[in-house]
Structure formats: C-alpha cells, structure tokens
Structure 1
Amino acid sequence: MKNSNTSDNKDMEMKYVMVIETSDYLHRLEANQLNLFTQKLHNGISKLLKKFDSQILKQDDNTYIVLFDSVTNAILCALKVKSNFKYITLKFDKSIRHLKIGIAHHTNRIAAQTLSTRMCEVVKNQIVITSEVKKAYEKENRNTFINKEHIRTLNFSEEQFLTNLMNCVETIWNNSDFSIVDFSKPLKYSKSQVYRKMISLTGKPPSSFIRDFRLNRAMHLMYDRKGNITEIAQQTGFKNPSYFSKCFKDKFGVTPKTYSKQHAN
C-alpha cells in the first residue's frame, strides 16, 4: 500500500517553482487563432517539461505552474521554452508576442508560486529568477554563470520591493483617486525613490504601471464575461468609459467592444 503522504513528500522535494505566462498575447488573439496557438504552445511546452523532469501543478490556456527538483533543469527548460516560443509566434509582430517566466526557490510552495507569478507579471525582463535560484545554479554548475543578457536575477532588496509593491497594489489598484503617494507611504520611500525603483523593476512609471495593471484586470474580467464594458471600467478604477476604451485600444490593439465580440462564445 502506498503512503498517503507520497505526493506531499514529493512536492517538498521539488525545490524550484516555475511560472510560465503568455496571457497578454493569447487574449489578444481571435478565437480561431487562439485555438491553433494554444495547441502548438501546449504541445511544445509539455514535451519540454517532460524532458526536464518537472511536475505540473496547474495548467490552463496561458499559464503553467511547475515544480523542479533540479535548478539546472529549471533554468535550461526556461531558456528552451523561450527559444521555442519565438518560432511558434514567428508570423506575428514582435510587439504582440508575450512570454514571461519566473523561477523562485521553494521553501514554502505558495510563497514561491506567488513570487514567481509576480515576477512574470511585473518585472520587465522575459526570464526572471531570484537570487537564491542563481546561487543554487552556480553552485550546481561551478564553471557556468547565469547569462545576464538572457536571464534577470533579482537581488534580495528587489525581491522585497516587488513583494511590498504588489501587496500595496492589490489593495488600492481599483481606487480611481490613486496617486503615487499611495505607493510611497506604505513602501516607506520618497516619491522619487519609488519612481526610480519602479522604472528599474518594471520599465514603467507608477501611473503607467497602475493603469496597465487595471487594464489587465479588465481584460480578464471581459474574457470571463463578468460585466458589460461600462461596469468593468468602473470596477477597475476608470471613471470615464471613453478613456477606458482609449487606453484599452492603445494597450491591446482592439477596442473593448471588439474584444468582447471576439470572445463572446
């Protein structure tokens, strides 16, 4: 008889959490393109995850959450997924290709999963790892170092800032009266420090970051049909539906109305 804790024990042995996201790009595709793309994407990623000896925790149309025992396998798999992705999306414009990968060390799986997800959704680089992952990889591969051109490593201070930033954002993101002060006070930095740190981490100033965060939430609400356009605009902190439509079109290339029709079924 198998031990009922076998699965839990295996999870504890798997030390690295990888999150793969392609959400922005996939949600911009029309339904027929989406089906073809996801089929190719899943086939390719599934083969790589099997090759690099991982355990899939969760999978949907645009996200994978995966456990690895070997940090080397996690890093090599991430690089291969990134390399293969550009061939899947070769016929599409570079500006709308979207692939993000985050890898964190696993001492608490939920915390590592949350951090990996935030690295995918927030940090501007395509592959992002924590300092613990870098340290483990370079220890396991003594003559090999992380290539900074392909992988960004967050130092401990950046990891802390990312965690505190997103904890703050998730409490105030739909407040239409948001200002940079709402970041600087809880983060305990001056407005100029917050600005510099956010540019370094996300590539965006605070106002653009919160706007894009709202738009991504709005896109998901529309994809899940959680209300009409005006209702979703208000739910996501946009006072003016016309301004919401303009921002949505600027970011995703289609109007909210067109997007809703594309994903109506």
Structure 2
Amino acid sequence: MDRHNVSEGVTAEIVADLHREDLKIQHRYNCKGLTYWFDDERKTAFCLYEAPNEEAIKEMHAKAHGQVPNKIIEVDRSVVESFLGRIEDPEKSKKITLNIINDPAFRTIMVVGIKPGSLKQALDKEINFTIARQQKSITDNITLFKGRLVKQNPDHFLVSFYSVTNAVLSALKIESEFNKGIGGIDNSHTRLHIGLNSGIPVDQANGLFEDTLKAAYSYFDLVNATVVLSSEVKELYESENMNLPTLPATIVALTPPEEKFLKGLVEFTEREWRKTCFTTDEFSRHFGYSKSGLYRKLMALTGKSPNNYLRDYRLRMALSYLKKKDLNISEVAFETGFNSPAYFSKCFHETFGILPSHYMKSINS
C-alpha cells in the first residue's frame, strides 16, 4: 500500500483519473491495482497494489502520471480488509468509466478488553467464565455500532470504526453495561479498559496503522482510566455532535503534550528496559524532568510511580516469557532486568498474587 500527499486543489475526480492511468500500464511492471482510498479533508490518497517490489510501483506511477508515492509499505490483504472493509473497488464504482471513490482510509481504532483483578484470578475458571460472558456483550456492542473486529486476543479486542461517533458511542455503551453488570454479570473481579485513537493506514512507521495502534495500546495499557481518547478523537466527536451533551467526566481525553509524553515513554522504555542497570533516573534525564516532576507526571497519567511503572513493565514482559516456556524462572528474571531470581519472585508475587513457580505449574498442568 502506498500513500500520496496531494495538494489542496486535488479532487476525487483527479485522483480517480490518476488511478485509471496507472491501470492502463500496470501490466508492464507486473503490478495489479486492487483499489484506492481518497481523503479530501486530509488530502491523502492510498493505493493498494499487488506488486513484485517497491521500485515497480514507483516506476509505474512515474511513467503513468509522475505522482510518485510519499511512502510504500508491505501489507497483508486480509489485515487491510479487516481495518478498511475492502480490498477491491466497490461494485457500484465498477460500472462507471471514471472510478471515483470518496472513501477516506482514516479510521478510529479501539483497543478494548476485560482483565482479571490479578493473575491468580485469571487462573480461576469461574472468573474466566465471567470474562467470556462480558466479552460476548462487547462483541455484540461492536457489531451494533458497525465496528470491524480486526483481532481477538485472550484479554482484548482490536476494532476499526469508519465513524468516530460510532467508536465513541460504542465505548460509552460498553462502559455503561459493564458498570451496570448487565445480565447479572459480576464485575467485582474484573477491570474494563478502552483506548481510542484515530489515524491513517500508512503513516511514518512501516506497518499498517502502526503509529495509531501503538498509541491506542498505550492508552489501553498505561493510562489510569477506563475509557481514554486521543485529543483528535475527542475533537472530531465533538465537531460531529455539537448538539449532544458533552462527554461524561469519567472519560479521559488526553492533551497533545500528554500524548507526546506517552509516546516518548513507551519508545524509551522499549529500548532500555532489559538493562539491569537501567533505573528511573534514566527517565528523568531523558525527559528533562526533575525526579519529583517525573513522579507527578507519571502518577497523573498512569497512577504509578516511576519505580512501579518500570517494575510492572518488566513483570508484564516476564509473564510473556514464562508463557512461552523457553526459559526457566532464573533466566527470565535476568532477561527482564531483575538483579536476582529471589527479588523477581517477590515482585511477581506482590503484583500478580502468585509465585512464578506456581504459575509455571498451573500452565503446565
């Protein structure tokens, strides 16, 4: 898939005409144009091609009309369809000479999941049954608001919405039903988390919706709130619904500086967390905060101190290593930045309510 940043005067008709010129000569470059998207508001166009390599796409565009893509990424057809709803031109558009498609590829992405209160509770069959019932309610809600289920993991769903309003209303309804315990479902041992972000499929990263997804996951995983919106989602929702009541006070809408801080926090942590010598002092130096300033910033966003944030991040990674069963407990401890297996076991038990040795036995039984 490629992205073209187009000038202000470019219209849907012009983009359709350029796409038609590509199709006339695509066979010379072993390319096959599947479809395209045009976003008149953001002045971006995205083309989906089967092609042998990036150079073939660039050469074809250059020869057809001279509009070389700003970026090209490799994508999986099924994933594109999950996010965007199609991988071919709409049927109604195939019957006309100039295939004008006014479908922006801009989407609102939701990460939503229900987590047990502790890892020990996650091993409880009754609580898992409760979570399964709650998840069924979520999937019904997603369908009601025309969301597309992109991916289903044990602890969360990844969903794509064409409409920002539908995405926000879906999140609000999911939260309301969870809090009410619809159908007599006990939610005392589970926690709901929802992160909403919006963006385009080909951004600065090299994966489909990669930057948008990464931010949405950070809102879901890190921010101390049930429903978290990016500043753009909030602005778009409010502009589309000027006559509706404002968003409930329980909803957290991040500011652009907060989004920037979270992005930097995630990227820096991902680079450094494995180092045993890495401490929270590194965070302070990297972001230019005093220790007290960093403490206040992290507590406000995540509800965790810098030390607890780093410890919990390492423990989550340790949990994923233990699930793979490739390493023993001591190896996992050192691999995830802990100084000793004993201290690792202590932290693991305090956080998850179960010793790593007992957890290993439970997943092996």
Structure 1 equivalent of residue 34 of structure 2: 4
2:119, 2:353 within 8 Å by CA — same for their partners in 1?
Answer: no
Structure 2 equivalent of residue 66 of structure 1: 159
Distance 1:81 1:224 in 2: 32
In the alignment, which of 159, 173, 186 is matched to residue 80 of structure 1? 173
AA of the residue aligned to 2:258:
E
Moved over 6 A (4+): none
Structure 2 equivalent of residue 145 of structure 1: 246
Distance 1:185 1:15 in 2: 36
**Higher normalized contact order (CA 8 Å, seq sep 6+, divided by chain length):** 1
2:130, 2:185 within 8 Å by CA — same for their partners in 1?
Answer: no
Structure 1 equivalent of residue 305 of structure 2: 205
What is the CA distance between 1:27 and its match in structure 2? 4.7
Structure 2 equivalent of residue 20 of structure 1: 112
TM-score (norm 2): 0.65
The correspondence of residues 44-55 of structure 1 with structure 2, limited to 5 A, is 44-55=137-148
Helix, strand or coil for the counterpart of 1:5? strand
Select the structure that is richer in helix.
1
Unmatched segments (≥5 aa) in structure 2: 1-32, 37-80, 87-103, 202-208
- The answer as to 2:125 corresponding to 1:32 is yes
Distance 2:185 2:136 in 1: 17
AA of the residue aligned to 2:111:
V
TM-score (norm 1): 0.88
Helix, strand or coil for the counterpart of 1:175? coil
Aligned CA distance change for structure 1 residues 75 and 170 (closer, same or farther; 3 Å): same
The correspondence of residues 224-263 of structure 1 with structure 2, limited to 5 A, is 224-263=324-363
What is the CA distance between 1:183 and its match in structure 2? 0.8
Q: Which moved more, 1:189-198 or 1:54-63?
A: 189-198
AA of the residue aligned to 2:35:
N
1:18, 1:102 within 8 Å by CA — same for their partners in 2?
Answer: yes
Aligned CA distance change for structure 1 residues 98 and 224 (closer, same or farther; 3 Å): farther
Give % identity.
32
Q: Which moved more, 1:21-30 or 1:239-248?
A: 21-30
Number of residue pairs the alignment of both structures matches: 260
Distance 2:262 2:185 in 1: 32
1:77-135 C-alpha deviation (Å, 9 max, x unpaired): 1122223335389546x4x5222110012234221111000111111111110111111
- The answer as to 2:194 corresponding to 1:194 is no
AA of the residue aligned to 1:69:
Y
Helix, strand or coil for the counterpart of 2:191? coil
2:130, 2:186 within 8 Å by CA — same for their partners in 1?
Answer: no
Aligned CA distance change for structure 1 residues 30 and 164 (closer, same or farther; 3 Å): same
2:345, 2:356 within 8 Å by CA — same for their partners in 1?
Answer: yes
Distance 1:61 1:42 in 2: 10
Aligned CA distance change for structure 1 residues 196 and 220 (closer, same or farther; 3 Å): same
In the alignment, which of 285, 310, 319 is matched to residue 185 of structure 1? 285
1:99, 1:126 within 8 Å by CA — same for their partners in 2?
Answer: yes
Helix, strand or coil for the counterpart of 1:234? helix
Instruction: Let me know the Cα RMSD of the aligned residues.
Output: 2.4
Helix, strand or coil for the counterpart of 1:4? strand
Structure 2 equivalent of residue 174 of structure 1: 274
Structure 2 equivalent of residue 111 of structure 1: 211
AA of the residue aligned to 2:252:
R
1:55, 1:66 within 8 Å by CA — same for their partners in 2?
Answer: yes
Structure 2 equivalent of residue 163 of structure 1: 263
What is the CA distance between 1:171 and its match in structure 2? 0.9
AA of the residue aligned to 2:113:
E
AA of the residue aligned to 1:241:
P
Distance 2:333 2:354 in 1: 15
1:154-209 C-alpha deviation (Å, 9 max, x unpaired): 10000000000111111111222222221122223333322221111111111111
AA of the residue aligned to 2:293:
Q
